Chains A and B, each alone.
Chain A
Amino acid sequence: MANSNYFDVAVIGGGPAGIAAATAASKEGASVFLIEREARLGGILKQCIHDGFGLMRFGERLSGPEYAERYIDLLKETAVEVSLLTFVADIKKENGEFKLTLVTRAGMRVITAHSVVLATGCRERTAKQVLIQGTRPSGVFTAGTAQHFVNILGNMPSKKCVILGSGDIGLIMARRLTLEGAKVLGVFEVKSTPSGLTRNIAQCLTDYDIPLHLSHTITRVFGEDRLTAVETAQVDEKMNVIKGTEKIIECDSLILSVGLIPENELAEKLNIPLDRKTKGAVVDQNLMTACEGVYSCGNALHVNDLVDYVSEGAELAGKYAAQKRSGTPKYIDVQSDASLLYIVPQKLNINSDLSQVKVYFRSSSPVDGATLRVSVDDTEVLAKRYAHLRPPEMESITLDLSQAKNAKAVNLKIEVKK
């Protein structure tokens, strides 16, 4: 089907999710078109030169580029058509198929696809989105942008910095900048518990004597040209600044790791409903969105803390996207109470296979000795004990929910014995 403009599956995004989805769809025999905006595949992994990737998938500690390389090698064995430096300007559903308008260096191109996999990743929340005030100097970076400067462009954005937010990229950058000779004066986290993985707190902060200030935030930046200082303050349980606790710290940069937002602008163009909690699409057990034929995976679906989960989920999405759609989906809800931060999938298609439903979830707060209880309507189908559950650490579980076929809803909750 070379140079044709019709594909069974179009995968948007050539990061770990997109590569895995495209490979999986191709293995199912589908013709696949993989769209990547940048000049190279790999997404954000390209700049993640630290190790720790692939422990689950490969049982090895790989760097980001190495992990990407493994999947790119698998992709190369398939007939997937890869289009780099390609931007999706528009997406429309017409007669049950999808029309994608692409911007490429060779010109505009319009392709049609039977199914679409959204693997568009996420973006970082910015300083203004966490309402930092003051001047507008240079020296305010999101952690990912700082990482791009250091690891891709090989240039230092800071000599002496303060980090706001204990998200994983912020922690990784604290270590990275320290190793490159910069002074990291401290990591400030507005919540009373860290946002990043426990292992990253230990390996990136503790090991380098970088202080972590919980229940603290940055309120203002100073400096007319380059940033010269930041104002920190303590916050109460409601995360409001406690007056009188403000302190000025002299530094040349503020690096922000204050959350990731799934990129779902294309999903919104298709009027796909999003989950308020995950900020990703609402999907069923096959990772299909409410728009039939559109699948979502990776960080566009929900922000994952391990790339291994991204690949796993994306393979599912790719596999199902490659299958011919038959029958009308019939949905029931997967619900939870406040003990869970979120669950994916949010719906079950009871006209599809229910015997091996992969469920991803996070607890709302850190709990020890907790039990996850799953019930179909009022019948409990599973009770699983966890020694610890932490909001930054996503959990996954495969459930046989066959008996949900005639049910109204599936319920999940986490119970802690007092």
Chain B
Amino acid sequence: MNFINKIEKKIHESVSPLIKVSLENKCVLLEGELPSWDAIVTAGTLAVDKKHSLGVINNIKLTGFEDVIRKPAVEDSSLDGTTPDILIIGGGVVGCCIARELSKYSYNTILVEKGYDVALAASSHNDGDVHVGIDLHNGTQKHHYNGRGNALYDDLCKELEVSLQRTGHTIVFYKNWEAKIIYPLLKLQSKLLGIKGVRFSPPEEFKTLETGAPSWSKGAAFMPSGAEVSPYKLTVALAENAAANGVKISLNTIVSGMTTENGAITAVQTNRGTIRPKLVINAAGVFADKIADMAGDRTFTIHARKGTSLILDKKCQAYAVTSMTKSPFSKYDGEEKRVEDAKKHTKGGGIIHTVDNNVLIGPSATETPYREDTTTSKEELDEIYNKLKKISEKMTYGDVITYFSGVRAPTYEEDFVVRKGLFCKNIIETAGIQSPGLTAAPAIAQDAAAWSIEILGNAKKNEAYNPNRKHTPHLADLSVAERDEYIKKNPDYGEIVCRCEEISKGEILDALNSPLPVYTVDAIKRRVRPGMGRCQGGFCSPLIVKMLAEKAGTPLEGIVKAETESTILYGATKIGEEVGNGK
């Protein structure tokens, strides 16, 4: 029996006999229709055979479901007729990392992003872990890029003036046998994977190292190469630096189709006109398979996997010093069986001390047909809360200041697809990017740039390239004398707008004077964090709206929260009209 027949048999037996299984372009193609998304995902998973095929193309339709993509409201011809050397699709951390890497060369590069800002999807909805990679397997792209990416982080963050906390990651042992048996195996694994510095932290020492250590801890594996970064601040910084070095970033721009001739892309259609790039780089996140399909280069399927995380008040910052997870090998006493997170393709969530001194709890993992579903539900919240409350024993629901969901973009192979086009000459795929995608991004970008040079040839250095991005630091973190110096130069640094995060008017205005200014409340939030504290913008949001309107020269109602239609205000009140709208 050949491998396709084997896959067919498995799917017909455990999912549905109505699914058509075939081999096309060396990929396993699944077709048909099913009423259950879980069944479709199961079929996709069963179709994986990395040895004999390039990947799974799961085209099974979900009954009654329409795969809708949110589109930008604008339509114009601002990009029509442009002929860049390189077109990057997607303004997440990977797309922006690639854009910056390519800005080292004199190529004419355009990055298009369908949202109103960069870092809108997974790149702003994740935990910010720069992973150690101890759970990854040799031979996978995830392992390859995680190790390389992790090592690039210190220099990258220094150049971009983005904070990086290398406070280490820890795996906490619940049972003594884990400390005795699992730890040595982890240590061995770390050596095989080339991970440095992993050591056992005995229970007493662990308590001093990690103030949030659970009472049951039997010690932990301490992995010093683990770090934290603000994923959205990093993505914005990458985009700003790329823009400063000549990359054109076109927001609110969605790719709707491609024209290919003789296995090469000749034109890319967008809502802002037709672009004729020499090379396309696919960094489209949850839509990467759609883009690859347009280019005739699809060998994989993205199936959205949602995760919910909670953010705790800064008062709880002692709940974690490192990024902590429980060893997955034991079950809690009184629990019927251990939660098999590995099967759900999550490390099970953790307790993380973020660079902004909050504690982040999560994420969970749920398969969903909706690629942009960032809604939260009480069930998802309770799931992650109840599970991680066992590690973070002091946590209460009262500590939670906010929560959010993000959507991962895995393939059924559960590995990255980072490669040159197989069926299309002028595309580079950077797809299937889920955890540890943030860690891997700088390394992926290096390869994408090297392949671009290979494909396009005649790479000239961009003589004006400046790797350094000047950025106003969070002034509240400075000494009194340093802060005083800033204020003496610009009094706006001495006017606090966001009381919870202690952010000054000057810092906010600086974000609007950057190479990538975005005049919405949420974009400012991602750049400088007003409204991210315990009052969640209750006090500062009217002030931010007013500042944005004044700087943009628009009426107050012209300022939106996020996308174009996310109106905040509807216009002057009866009295406001008379007195000039609060001005």
Contact = CB atoms under 8 A, between A and B. Distances in A.
Interface of A: 37, 85, 87, 89, 101, 103-108, 110, 123-124, 126-129, 131, 133-139, 142, 144-145, 148-150, 152-159, 180-181, 219, 224-226, 265, 268
10 closest A-B pairs (Cβ-Cβ)? A154-B576, A138-B561, A225-B565, A153-B582, A87-B496, A105-B491, A108-B484, A154-B582, A225-B566, A138-B566
Contact of A103 (B374, B487, B580): B487
Given A104-B487, A105-B494, 5 more contacts: A124-B535, A138-B560, A155-B571, A156-B571, A219-B378
24 contacts: A89-B476, A101-B480, A104-B487, A105-B487, A107-B494, A126-B401, A126-B402, A129-B401, A133-B376, A133-B381, A134-B376, A138-B560, A145-B538, A149-B569, A153-B569, A154-B573, A154-B579, A155-B569, A155-B581, A156-B573, A225-B566, A226-B565, A226-B566, A265-B315
A417 B568 CA distance: 52
A333 B368 CA distance: 56
Contacts of B557: 155
B5 interface: no
A157 B569 contact: yes
B542 to A, nearest CB: 4
A177 to B, nearest CB: 10
A131 to B, nearest CB: 6
B534 interface: yes
Contacts of B538: 123-124, 126, 142, 144-145
Best-buried of B541, B565, B573 by chain A (most CB within 10 Å): B573
B581 A153 contact: yes
A143 to B, nearest CB: 10
A383 B495 CA distance: 52
A106 B483 CA distance: 11
A376 to B, nearest CB: 35
Interface in B366-415: 374-378, 381, 397, 400-404
Interface of B: 70, 315, 374-378, 381, 397, 400-404, 476, 480-481, 483-484, 487-488, 491-492, 494-496, 499, 502, 504, 534-539, 541-542, 545-546, 556-557, 560-577, 579-582
Given A37-B496, A106-B491, A156 B567 contact: no
Contact of A136 (B378, B397, B404, B481): B404
A138 B535 contact: no
Contacts of B582: 152-155
Contacts of A219: 378
A145 B494 contact: no
A261 to B, nearest CB: 8
B378 A131 contact: yes
A107 B534 contact: no
Contact of B378 (A87, A133, A159): A133
Best-buried of A110, A127, A157, A180 by chain B (most CB within 10 Å): A157
A225 B561 CA distance: 8
A265 B375 CA distance: 31
B509 to A, nearest CB: 14
B535 A126 contact: yes
Given A128-B402, A156-B573, A87 B502 contact: yes
Contacts of B488: 107
A80 B432 CA distance: 64
A133 B402 CA distance: 11
Contacts of B539: 123, 145
Best-buried of A101, A135, A153 by chain B (most CB within 10 Å): A153
Contacts of A123: 534-535, 538-539
Contacts of A124: 535, 538
Contacts of A133: 375-378, 381
A414 B365 CA distance: 51
A128 B536 contact: yes
Contacts of B377: 133
Contacts of B570: 155-159
A137 B566 contact: yes
Nearest to A182: B570
Contacts of A129: 400-401
Contacts of B576: 153-155
A129 B561 CA distance: 20
Contacts of A145: 537-539, 541-542
A85 B495 contact: yes
Contacts of A144: 538
Contacts of B579: 154
Nearest to A153: B582
Nearest to B397: A131
Contacts of A155: 556-557, 569-573, 576, 581-582
Best-buried of B539, B546, B557, B581 by chain A (most CB within 10 Å): B539
B501 to A, nearest CB: 12
A105 B483 CA distance: 11
B565 to A, nearest CB: 4
Contacts of A37: 496, 499
A153 B542 contact: yes
B282 to A, nearest CB: 25
Nearest to A109: B484
B55 to A, nearest CB: 31
A124 B575 CA distance: 26
A181 B309 CA distance: 39
Contacts of B481: 108
A121 to B, nearest CB: 10
B403 A138 contact: no
Contacts of A107: 484, 487-488, 494
Nearest to B398: A129
B491 A150 contact: no
Contacts of A139: 567-568
B494 A103 contact: yes
Contact of A153 (B494, B534, B556): B556
A306 to B, nearest CB: 22
A220 to B, nearest CB: 8
A299 to B, nearest CB: 14
B403 A148 contact: no
Given A37-B496, A101-B480, A131-B378, A154 B575 contact: yes
A108 B487 contact: yes
Contacts of A152: 542, 582
A158 B545 CA distance: 15
Nearest to B520: A138
Contact of B375 (A101, A108, A135): A135
Contact of A89 (B381, B502, B574): B502
Nearest to B575: A154
Contact of A156 (B315, B400, B572): B572
B491 A87 contact: no
B542 A149 contact: yes
Nearest to A222: B375
A297 to B, nearest CB: 19
Contact of B483 (A103, A126, A153): A103
B396 to A, nearest CB: 12
A180 B556 CA distance: 17
A245 to B, nearest CB: 15
A257 to B, nearest CB: 12
Best-buried of B374, B488, B494, B581 by chain A (most CB within 10 Å): B494
B374 A135 contact: yes
Contacts of B499: 37, 87
A138 B562 contact: yes
Contacts of A110: 480
B462 to A, nearest CB: 38
A226 B381 contact: no
B476 A224 contact: no
Contacts of A137: 561, 566
A89 B568 CA distance: 31
A7 B375 CA distance: 52
A381 to B, nearest CB: 37
Nearest to A149: B542
A256 to B, nearest CB: 9
A330 to B, nearest CB: 31
A157 B480 contact: no
